[in-house]
């Protein structure tokens, strides 16, 4: 029997404030699973018209699936969030694109008609679980020259990208990084970031109780001169610094997805419609170029061109990979359509959680820009991949019509 595909809509998204990894960070003694549980509970609180038993899947991503990020976290988080024991769940790993993949995987189940409502998200506590903790990469991948050893160090792949494209200068990347900090500070001052932040109670044996209500990594007021003086840890006289790359961070995200039919039945808001998505592989040594072919593939699938995209949320793992994307598509480094509230260089990048942050912010941008019909979320992914998801704005006059 032929199956009818169902439209998938983004109902709501939230995140914890992002913290700095390490003993001095605000989440130093807070469990990773408690971060994502707080997000799931907030989604349920914000959408009281959704009966908990209607949530049919919970997918939670983590790059380092060990300790309090392990043991089928999606299922455990569902139970600990108060969802009924009839709600299944699972864990997912596509490194930085974990939450993005949790969204596209559950969305595919909704589109197929297997489920109607799902929660997807991600968590990374890089202070408790540094990337790569406990792993044992097969030595053949280096010994047989399948990849260069630099492919396993993300900062070195960013330096390789500078080598590949000499026009992507350190000066351009530093300028982009300063702009990211400036835009995030302006968004905070205007109260735009705060509505989707989940306050998290924290406890520390020395610092006592606390309440995380704002991102910890931002450095407002950062100047070009300050960035120019930073060390280049991945290569002597290199281009990548702590100032033009995302840091090591802790945090979680979650979003609510539904079929358009279920959203209408339950009276849930429709903030975006999923149009298309794509994941691709690229040379691991220049993994930062991944969003380019991923976007090209997603655009082809949707029958769109880059000119149809009115808003971009690009993950800023490194400034150079964002500038490479913009360069390829002929978009100015300071184009106002790109990361209007800044990005991961300022906000932080808790690996597997970041994809849903991009989507939640894009949904907010859509509300402010009804003239924009399509938006794009994209990110580079470790070991040589890229991901892209294209969304449609329900505020647009032509929403839902054929192109």
Residue 378 pLDDT? 98
CATH number at residue 293: 3.40.47.10
Query: Residues 9, 257: contact at Cβ < 8 Å?
Result: yes
Q: Is residue 370 part of a domain?
A: yes
Active site residues: 96, 349, 380
Burial of 145 (0-12, 13-18, 19+ CB in 10 A): exposed
Q: Is residue 336 part of a domain?
A: yes
What is the Cα gyration radius of the chain? 20
* Percentage of the chain exceeding pLDDT 90: 94
Q: Is residue 279 part of a domain?
A: yes
Domain interval for residue 365 = 140-192+275-392
Q: What is the mean pLDDT of residues 368-383?
A: 98
pLDDT value at 308 more than 90:
yes
Residue 4 pLDDT? 87
Residue 401 pLDDT? 84
pLDDT in tens, 316-374: 999 999 999 999 999 999 999 999 999 999 999 999 999 999 999 999 999 999 999 99
Residue 164 pLDDT? 96
pLDDT value at 220 more than 90:
yes
**Structural domains in the chain (count):** 1
Question: Residue 253 and residue 357: Cα distance in Å, rounded?
Answer: 7
Going by pLDDT thresholds of 50, 70 and 90, the confidence category of residue 402 is confident
pLDDT in tens, 162-177: 999 999 999 999 999 9
pLDDT in tens, 274-289: 999 999 999 999 999 9
User: pTM to 2 decimals?
Assistant: 0.97
Q: Is residue 351 part of a domain?
A: yes
pLDDT value at 85 more than 90:
yes
Give the chain's length: 403
Q: What is the mean pLDDT of residues 82-108?
A: 98
Q: Is residue 116 part of a domain?
A: no
Q: Is residue 132 part of a domain?
A: no
C-alpha distance from residue 14 to each of 38, 232, 361 (Å): 10, 34, 9
Structural element, H or E, at residue 181:
helix 170-189
Residue 325 pLDDT? 98
pLDDT value at 207 more than 90:
no
Residue 59 pLDDT? 98
Q: Is residue 124 part of a domain?
A: no
Structural element, H or E, at residue 273:
strand 272-281
User: Which of 67-71, 134-138, 345-349 has the largest mean confidence?
Assistant: 345-349
Residue 118 pLDDT? 98
pLDDT value at 2 more than 80:
no
Give the lowest-confidence range in 67-71, 80-84, 101-105, 315-319. 67-71
Report the chain's mean pLDDT, rounded to a whole number.
96
Q: Considering Cα of 226, then 231, then 236, then 239, what sign does the dihedral take?
A: negative
pLDDT value at 1 more than 80:
no
Q: Is residue 187 part of a domain?
A: yes
| Residue 69 backbone class (left: φ over 0; alpha: ψ -120 to 50; beta: rest) | alpha
Residue 135 pLDDT? 87
Residue 321 pLDDT? 97
Angle at 334 between CA 328 and CA 336, to 5 degrees: 105
């Amino acid at each position: 029997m032929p199956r009818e595909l169902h439209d998938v809509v983004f109902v709501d998204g939230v995140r914890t404030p992002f913290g700095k990894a390490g003993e001095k960070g605000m989440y130093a003694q807070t469990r990773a699973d408690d971060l994502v549980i707080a997000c799931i509970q907030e989604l349920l609180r914000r959408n009281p018209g959704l009966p908990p038993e209607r949530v049919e899947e919970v997918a939670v991503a983590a790059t380092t699936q060990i300790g309090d990020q392990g043991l089928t976290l999606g299922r455990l988080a569902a139970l600990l969030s108060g969802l009924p024991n009839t709600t299944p769940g699972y864990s997912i790993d596509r490194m930085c694109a974990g939450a993005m993949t949790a969204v596209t995987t559950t969305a595919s189940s909704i589109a197929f008609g297997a489920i109607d409502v799902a929660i997807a998200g991600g968590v990374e506590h890089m202070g408790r679980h540094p990337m790569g903790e406990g792993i044992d990469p097969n030595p053949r991948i280096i010994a047989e020259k399948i990849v260069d050893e630099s492919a396993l160090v993300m900062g070195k792949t960013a330096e390789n990208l500078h080598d590949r494209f000499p026009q992507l200068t350190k000066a351009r990347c530093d300028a982009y990084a300063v702009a990211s900090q400036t835009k995030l500070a302006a968004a905070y001052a205007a109260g735009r970031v705060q509505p989707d932040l989940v306050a998290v109670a924290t406890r520390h044996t020395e610092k006592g109780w606390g309440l995380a209500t704002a991102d910890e990594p931002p450095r407002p007021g950062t100047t070009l001169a300050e960035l120019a003086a930073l060390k280049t840890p991945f290569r002597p006289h290199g281009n990548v610094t702590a100032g033009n790359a995302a840091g090591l961070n802790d945090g979680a995200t979650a979003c609510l997805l539904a079929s358009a039919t279920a959203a209408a039945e339950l009276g849930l808001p429709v903030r975006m419609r999923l149009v298309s998505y794509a994941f691709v592989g690229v040379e691991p040594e220049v993994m930062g170029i991944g969003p380019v072919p991923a976007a090209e593939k997603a655009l082809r699938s949707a029958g769109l061109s880059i000119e149809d995209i009115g808003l971009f949320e690009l993950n800023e793992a490194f400034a150079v990979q964002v500038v490479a994307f913009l360069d390829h598509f002929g978009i100015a480094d300071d184009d106002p359509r790109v990361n209007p509230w800044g990005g991961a260089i300022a906000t932080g990048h808790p690996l597997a959680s970041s994809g849903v942050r991009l989507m939640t912010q894009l949904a907010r941008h859509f509300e402010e820009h009804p003239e924009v019909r399509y938006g794009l979320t994209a990110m580079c992914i470790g070991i040589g991949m890229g991901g892209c998801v294209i969304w449609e704005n329900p505020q647009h006059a032509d929403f839902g019509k054929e192109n």
